[in-house]
C-alpha cells in the first residue's frame, strides 16, 4: 500500500506547541523534583559541589560493585530519537544502579510513535500514563525538544516527573557538560580556585556542538561565582574552527558568545576568542583541549563537510609538540577531552598520552554524574543526606582505610 506524506500535518501540529516565555525553574540550591534541561539552570558553585559530592559516593558504589535500592519502585524512561552509545548506556545504567525499573528506547525516531508524527508533549503524556515514570531522559534532534517536554511535564504532572535533557538538537547537552566539568575539576586538582586562570580550547565544530555550548555556559557561571567568592577569576575560552564550523558564523552563535562574555549585571565575564587554526602560543596557554568531530548530521553540502572535516586532526606528533611547549613554559601537559564518538579527528596514538581524558576519565564520569543527578532530582534532600552518610560509613574503601590506620597505630 502506498504511503502518504504527513509533513504538513506535523508542521501544523507543532505550531500549537510553543515554548515561548517558558524556561524550567533554576536549581537555586535545590535539585529535588526539578528538571535539568539547560546548563543555565545551574546558578552557583554550591550546586556543583553538592552534585560532585553525591557523584563521589556513586563512584565509590560503582567501583565497589555495590547494589543499592535508593529509588526502588520508581521508573525511568530513556527515549532517544538520535543515535547514542555513551549517553544512552550511562543513563540506563545509572537508573538501574539506583534500583529503578527502566524502559529504554533507542532509535525512537523510527521505532516509536514519533515515526507517525506524534508530538513530544503527547509522547511524554504517553510515557507517564503507561509507565508511571518519575524520570524521562530524552534525546531529540530539535533544539527546543527538551523545553517542550519539560513544559508538558510541568503542565500535566507538576513535580511528579523530572525531565533530563540527553541532547537537544544543536542547542544543549547539560549532563555532558556536568561530567566534562567534573573531569576538568579533577584534572586541575579538585579545587575551584585552580580554575582561576583556566584556559579551555574548543576545536573542531563549535557551531554545531551542543556539548561545547553547554560546557562554556557552565564555565561562565563558574567564573562569575568565583568572582563572587573574591577570587580574581579570568577563565578564557578559545574556539578553533574552519569557517564552516565557526560559532560566530550564525546570529545565534554570536548571541551565545556575547552571553558568555557578560554577566547578567553587564559586568565582563569570560574572555572568548576565535581562531582559524592552532599555533604555538595557543598550545602553550591551553590547559585543556576539548576536541570535537565535525558533525556530518548537520551538513547538507558534502563538499562543505569534506572541507571542514579535513581541517583539524590531533596527531601524536602534534600533541607531543604541544606538550613540549607546555613543559618549556613550566606548565602541566595538556588535558585532551572529546565528547565522542570519534571518527578520525584524534589519532589513536594520542590515546596513550597521560593527558588523554576521554576514555578513562570522561566516560566513567558520565555514569557517576548521571547517577548523582537522578538521585538529587528524585530523592528528598534529607533522605538523600542520610543515605549518603550510611553509604560512606559502609564503604569498602573506607573500611580498608580505617583498617590500615588502625594497623599503623599499633606501631606508633
pLDDT tens for 1-29 read 456 565 554 554 554 556 778 999 999 99
Mean pLDDT of the chain: 91
Max CA separation in the chain (angstroms): 86
CATH number of 174-364: 3.40.50.1370
Q: Is 320 helix (H, G, I), strand (E, B) or coil?
A: helix
**Is residue 354 pLDDT above 50, yes or no?**
yes
What span, in angstroms and rounded, lies between the C-alpha atoms of 17 and 153?
13
Name 96's Cβ contacts closer than 8 Å, sequence gap at least 6.
Answer: 102
What distance lies between CA 115 and its chain's CA centroid? 27
**Is residue 147 pLDDT above 90, yes or no?**
yes
H-run or E-run covering 66 = none
Domain with CATH 3.40.50.1370 in the chain: 29-172+369-381, 174-364
What span, in angstroms and rounded, lies between the C-alpha atoms of 91 and 166?
9
CA-based Rg of the chain, rounded to a whole angstrom? 22
In this structure, which CATH number among 3.40.50.1820, 3.30.565.10, 3.40.50.1370, 1.10.1270.20 belongs to the domain 29-172+369-381?
3.40.50.1370
- pLDDT value, residue 117: 87
Residue ranges with strand state E in 118-196: 135-140, 162-168
**End-to-end CA separation in angstroms for the chain:** 86
What span, in angstroms and rounded, lies between the C-alpha atoms of 176 and 365?
9
Q: What is the pTM of this model?
A: 0.91
Grid cell digits, residue 32 = 529535588
**Is residue 401 pLDDT above 90, yes or no?**
no
Mean pLDDT of 181-197: 97
Grid cell digits, residue 47 = 550546586
Amino acid at each position: 500500500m502506498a504511503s502518504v506524506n504527513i509533513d504538513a500535518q506535523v508542521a501544523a501540529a507543532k505550531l500549537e506547541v510553543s515554548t515561548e516565555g517558558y524556561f524550567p525553574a533554576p536549581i537555586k540550591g535545590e535539585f529535588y523534583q526539578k528538571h535539568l534541561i539547560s546548563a543555565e539552570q545551574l546558578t552557583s558553585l554550591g550546586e556543583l559541589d553538592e552534585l560532585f559530592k553525591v557523584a563521589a559516593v556513586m563512584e565509590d558504589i560503582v567501583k565497589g560493585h555495590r547494589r543499592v535500592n535508593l529509588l526502588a519502585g520508581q521508573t525511568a524512561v530513556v527515549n532517544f530519537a538520535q543515535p547514542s552509545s555513551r549517553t544512552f548506556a550511562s543513563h540506563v545504567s545509572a537508573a538501574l544502579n539506583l534500583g529503578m525499573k527502566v524502559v529504554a528506547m533507542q532509535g525512537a525516531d523510527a521505532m516509536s510513535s514519533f515515526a507517525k508524527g506524534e508530538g513530544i508533549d503527547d509522547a511524554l503524556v504517553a510515557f507517564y500514563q503507561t509507565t508511571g515514570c518519575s524520570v524521562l531522559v530524552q534525546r531529540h534532534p530539535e533544539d527546543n525538544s527538551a523545553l517542550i517536554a519539560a513544559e508538558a511535564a510541568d503542565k500535566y504532572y507538576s513535580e511528579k516527573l523530572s525531565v533530563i535533557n540527553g541532547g537537544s538538537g544543536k542547542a544543549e547537552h547539560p549532563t555532558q557538560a556536568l561530567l566534562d566539568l567534573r573531569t576538568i575539576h579533577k584534572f586541575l586538582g579538585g579545587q575551584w580556585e585552580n580554575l582561576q586562570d583556566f584556559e579551555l580550547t574548543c576545536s573542531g565544530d563549535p557551531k554545531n556542538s551542543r556539548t561545547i555550548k553547554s560546557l562554556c555556559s557552565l564555565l561562565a557561571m563558574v567564573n562569575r561565582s568565583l568572582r563572587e567568592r573574591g577570587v580574581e577569576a579570568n577563565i578564557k575560552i578559545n574556539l578553533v574552527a574552519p569557517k564552516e564550523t565557526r560559532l560566530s558564523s550564525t546570529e545565534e552563535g554570536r548571541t551565545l558568545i556575547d552571553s558568555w562574555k557578560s554577566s547578567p549585571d553587564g559586568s565582563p565575564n569570560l574572555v572568548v576568542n576565535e581562531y582559524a587554526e592552532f599555533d604555538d602560543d595557543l598550545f602553550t596557554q591551553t590547559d585543556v583541549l576539548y576536541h570535537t568531530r565535525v558533525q556530518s548530521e548537520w551538513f547538507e553540502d558534502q563538499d562543505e563537510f569534506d572541507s571542514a572535516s579535513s581541517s583539524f586532526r590531533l596527531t601524536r606528533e602534534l600533541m607531543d609538540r604541544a606538550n613540549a611547549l607546555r613543559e618549556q613554559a613550566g606548565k602541566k601537559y595538556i588535558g585532551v577531552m572529546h565528547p565522542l564518538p570519534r571518527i578520525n579527528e584524534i589519532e589513536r596514538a594520542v590515546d596513550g598520552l597521560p593527558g588523554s581524558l576521554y576514555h578513562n576519565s570522561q566516560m566513567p564520569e558520565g555514569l557517576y554524574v548521571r547517577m548523582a543527578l537522578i538521585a538529587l532530582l528524585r530523592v528528598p534532600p534529607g533522605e538523600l543526606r542520610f543515605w549518603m552518610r550510611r553509604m560512606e560509613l559502609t564503604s569498602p574503601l573506607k573500611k580498608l582505610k580505617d583498617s590500615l590506620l588502625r594497623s599503623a597505630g599499633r606501631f606508633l
